[in-house]
Amino acid sequence: MNGKICMITGANSGIGKATALGLAEMDATVIMVCRNQKWGKDAREEIREKTGNQSVDLLIADLSSQKAMIQLVADFKSKYQNLHVLINNAGVLLQNRSVTIDGIETTFAVNFLAPFLLTHLLLDTIKASAPARIINVSSATHTWSHLNLDDLQNENRYDAWTAYSQSKLALILFTYELAKRLKHTNVTVNCLHPGVIDTNIGSTTHVEHQISSKSFNKLRRGAETSIFLATSPDVENVTGKYFIRKKVAKSSTESYDEVIAQKLWDISVELTQLDSH
């Protein structure tokens, strides 16, 4: 992975941090996207120290804010000309409904709209860097959900797991649709279920810890498929697939519905004002 530039969102803790560490061990240039400056710096220094790789960079952005994402991409493009791997890893699971600065329900905004917008804003750079890979971290919980296009923001009745699983289903629909649209670009798009890993995704205290050897082994297992999809020559021509434990798996029946995917795409363009960027 020497010379390859990889961006990972939500990289200061949990699976994102383990993924960043794994890619840094493989000599990649790693760009950690984190929300909090201190936690991000601490995680970056830990990864640099553990791997000896000094090419670990940090960019700060709150992925619940579309303005922050536009700034993130501007910051990235001021420093880098290429992006070979984008891993949309960041996610939230919130017990109570809240809305972002853009007026969008937070779980849907962070878990789905952020990857949708960030990917599009970086797409020109990714295409120019081909062969390149886009990887979306979804969840097997998507099978619990039906995508209610009339209530994507859970306004009628909010339930944390329903909101979470619906956002992860949306991410898979986006993966398949984007893969179709990028078919002849030498850019692959895949998604995955990382396994049931004890991360701090549902934490409201946001306490960060150094990775202990025991918890690191669990998190490393959760990061394995992301790292595999980012690096393995076995999947260099594989696109539009859902992976579990480094193997192609079937996602839910609804996730393959191209009509729903197209409608979701159109709604997402509107919610992110993508046409105006």
CA distance linking residue 131 with residue 260, whole number of Å: 29
Angle between helix 213-231 and helix 14-25 axes, rounded to 10 deg: 70
Pair type for strands 242-244 and 247-249 = antiparallel
SS3 136: strand
Residues 231, 247, 178, CA angle at the centre, nearest 5°?
Answer: 70
The candidate with the shortest Cα–Cα distance to 59, out of 77, 85, 81, 84, is 77
Strand order in the sheet with 247-249: 56-60, 29-34, 5-9, 85-88, 132-137, 187-193, 242-244, 247-249
Q: Which of 158, 164, 242, 256 is labelled catalytic?
A: 164
Scanning the structure block, which residue is given the tokens 């880098």?
80
164 catalytically annotated: yes
CA distance linking residue 89 with residue 21, whole number of Å: 14
CA distance linking residue 176 with residue 242, whole number of Å: 9
SS3 8: strand
Q: Give the H/E segment covering residue 138.
A: none
> How many CA atoms does the CB half-sphere of 36 hold within 13 Å?
9
Q: Are 6 and 31 in contact (CB under 8 A)?
A: yes
Known catalytic residues are 164
